[in-house]
Chain A
Amino acid sequence: MTAVLVPLVVLLPLLGAATALILGRHRRAQMAVGIAVLAAVTVIAAVLLVAVDTTGPAVVYLGAWDAPWGITLVVDRLSAIMLVISAVMLLVVLVYSVGQGVADQHRETPVSIFHPSYLILSAGVFNAFIAGDLFNLYVGFEILLAASYVLLTLGGTGERIRSGVTYIITSLVSSLFFLSAIALIYGATGTANIAQLSVRLAELPQDVQLILHLLLLMAFGIKAAVFPLSFWLPDSYPTAPAPVTAVFAGLLTKVGVYAIIRTETVLFVESDVSTLLLVIGGLTMLIGILGALTQADIKRLLSFTLVSHIGYMIFGIGLSSVIGLTATIYYVVHHITVQTALFLTTGLIERFGGATSITRLAGLLKASPLLAVLFFIPAMNLGGIPPFSGFLGKAGLFLAGAQGTAADAPSGPDWLIWVVIAAGAATSLITLYALTRFWNMAFWRGREELEGYESVLLGSVLEAPEGATVTATRTTPVLMVVATASLVAVTVCLTVFAGPLFDLAGRAAEGLSDPSVYVSIVFPEGVR
């Protein structure tokens, strides 16, 4: 029964995109289609999560071609969790963008292509999460990337084209890496089915495994914006329309993280690069957050914190223990919602204040207390203040690290794990500092202080390359506020229901701890 639902999460958005394209001239109908499709997918994903958690993973052999011949779709607990959280997020952001589109008939955001592209992006994301085949994963990536190119250069203004070019070329290179890796893996093993690869890759010589492993990690690393490969992100995300930036920041990098989790837990079980991942995780955290410190523009600041917090997830994966993965899965869920909520709030700030730079914003607390609350909660959450989910996720990761040092087979030298934990704690504090500074400048300080204000704090801050040229509007559409508020409510729920969520993440990580679990899902009778 549940198996029937699995292909629907990809099919519905694709059909919806086609319908929305046909309805190009009827904006209301387009919006209705988009929201209905994503709401349906959210329900399906929730049903799948419950079903998968209670009765075990769902597998679909498309066209009734048995694995490894046909395309396999696999939904285990990890996939189901990712499906639910991304569907919820995509739905909320779509509602937000509808609110924005209704409010301003802006030439820069032609709505007729926005909805189809957005739905195709969703289809690509969902396809990547349920792919049981490496080539299908590649196709999922390409679907979401092609849609993201369109969304990022929406309207084709000079600024967006300039930043879009960086993003597109980086993504193209990463796709070429991915495709070459698939070709070489196929050449070495004769299959692209992930479950079968799990068995066959382990039989290859160590050096061949390492090369294939690193090639694949490089492709996913560019997508996840991991440190030496993260330079493109802060340049390309901030110029897009607010809802688009929110989706990209919240979701697209996490698809890369998801692929890295699969690579480490299922594909390359015999090839161990966890020390490398620990080092990269630590560097990503520190270098990302140091970049955030020098930004005056909140959108750029958030883009840098995004890069930095990917480091936590890479650290969790690098620990390669069940508790490490548990904390990572919880952290991914937390980060998707919080980062998206912050970018949505930034969109509201931009509308309300007419700017996104702390050199031009002041007195927002008095002007709009609601906006202040909507920013404050996710900001403190990202900074890791107890009792928010950011604190719980980080505490879980640090605990996993501390236990990793005590384990019989540590994933890296003890001192390295402690150093990365220290880097994580420092990153958390610096995130808090950067966000509090924005809070103090934009919300707390009075409007009259804006002129001629000098501070040592501002000494290191650089003005954004392109100043925002948005005109402030006193009316903020209700729909936008409602969407943002509901996502902030979700972030609070992550704290309230942290216990059950951690249990669920633990069960998901349990299923990942042994690759034979994944193999037996796809091949109940065993495979070679």
Chain B
Amino acid sequence: MTASLTLVILMAVLFGAGISVMLERSLTRVLIGFLLVGNAVNILIYLMSGAPGLAPILGEGVDEGEISDPLPQAFVLTAIVINLGITAFMLALIYRSWWLAKLGAKGDLVDDEAELAEDAEETADLIRSSAADDEAIQSLIEASDEEFDPLDEELEREASTRDTDDEGARR
């Protein structure tokens, strides 16, 4: 079986890059990694069709031995469609998890329930001021990775009291 060396190298690079990105913590990077590896697998399937040939349409004067193998192309098309669907779902999931991380369950009140207008307004304020919280959230995330640090613990306590306040407000 003959195969294009360029495609083999491209596949290897996509596999390597994809797997290393996939091992990161952030969900978005996992998605990017999945896309890269998914495309690497697609190229792998395509490579398995062997040497390229004529379009796989049998007609008069077309030699069966000279056409390319159409089946892997059908596989790749199916796999691309599946990947597209999964990617759309993953993006929704990432957006949702970002939303929850930023605002907690409270974020749901923003436009869903008009009768809780007061709450919604408060949440809207929270969104506006959430930029200031970014730093705090970031340091919390880092703190969970790193060693114990008393300052972080304070931050954490602050965050947890804020959470309980939120819950109280909801009730």
- B-contacting residues of A (Cβ < 8 Å)? 135, 139, 142, 146, 149-150, 153, 156-158, 161-162, 164-165, 168-169, 172, 176, 179-180, 182-184, 186-187, 190, 192
Contacts and interface: CB of A to CB of B under 8 A. Distances in A.
B120 interface: no
A158 B105 contact: yes
B96 A192 contact: no
A367 to B, nearest CB: 27
Contact of B79 (A150, A156, A179, A192): A179
B84 to A, nearest CB: 11
B55 interface: no
A176 B79 CA distance: 10
A187 B48 contact: yes
Contact of A158 (B45, B86, B100): B100
A168 B93 contact: yes
B105 A153 contact: no
Contact of B45 (A164, A165, A183): A183
Contacts of A186: 45, 48, 71-72, 75
A161 B93 contact: yes
B48 A183 contact: yes
A178 B161 CA distance: 46
Given A161-B96, A176-B38, 13 more contacts: A146-B86, A158-B104, A162-B97, A169-B30, A172-B34, A180-B44, A183-B41, A183-B47, A184-B44, A184-B48, A186-B48, A186-B71, A186-B75
25 contacts: A139-B78, A139-B82, A146-B86, A146-B89, A149-B86, A149-B89, A149-B93, A150-B89, A158-B100, A158-B105, A161-B93, A168-B90, A168-B93, A172-B86, A176-B37, A176-B41, A179-B79, A180-B41, A183-B41, A183-B44, A184-B44, A186-B48, A186-B75, A187-B48, A192-B75
B85 interface: yes
A179 B45 contact: yes
Nearest to A141: B82
B33 to A, nearest CB: 10
B143 interface: no
B85 A146 contact: yes
B30 A164 contact: no
A162 B93 CA distance: 10
Contact of B71 (A146, A168, A192): A192
Closest 3 pairs between A and B when the two form their complex, measured CB to CB: A187-B48, A183-B45, A183-B44
Nearest to A153: B93
Interface of B: 1, 27, 30, 34, 37-38, 41, 44-45, 47-48, 69, 71-72, 75, 78-79, 82, 85-86, 89-90, 93, 96-97, 100, 104-105
Contacts of A139: 78, 82
A416 to B, nearest CB: 35
Contacts, number: 67
Contacts of A192: 71, 75
A164 B93 contact: yes
Contacts of A161: 93, 96-97, 100
B79 to A, nearest CB: 6
B100 A179 contact: no
Nearest to B75: A135
A179 B85 contact: no
Given A135-B78, A161-B93, A182 B45 contact: yes
B89 to A, nearest CB: 6
Contacts of A190: 69
A180 to B, nearest CB: 5
Which of A157, A179, A180, A187 has the most C-beta atoms of chain B within 10 angstroms of its own C-beta? A179
A42 B23 CA distance: 43
A172 B38 CA distance: 9
A187 B100 CA distance: 45
A62 to B, nearest CB: 13
A182 B85 CA distance: 20
Contacts of B105: 157-158
A307 B48 CA distance: 36
B140 to A, nearest CB: 15
A207 B47 CA distance: 21
A165 B85 contact: no
Contacts of B37: 176
Nearest to B96: A156
B156 to A, nearest CB: 17
B52 to A, nearest CB: 15
A190 B72 CA distance: 10
A473 B86 CA distance: 38
A139 B38 CA distance: 15
A479 B79 CA distance: 41
Contacts of B97: 161-162, 165
Contacts of B48: 183-184, 186-187
A138 to B, nearest CB: 8
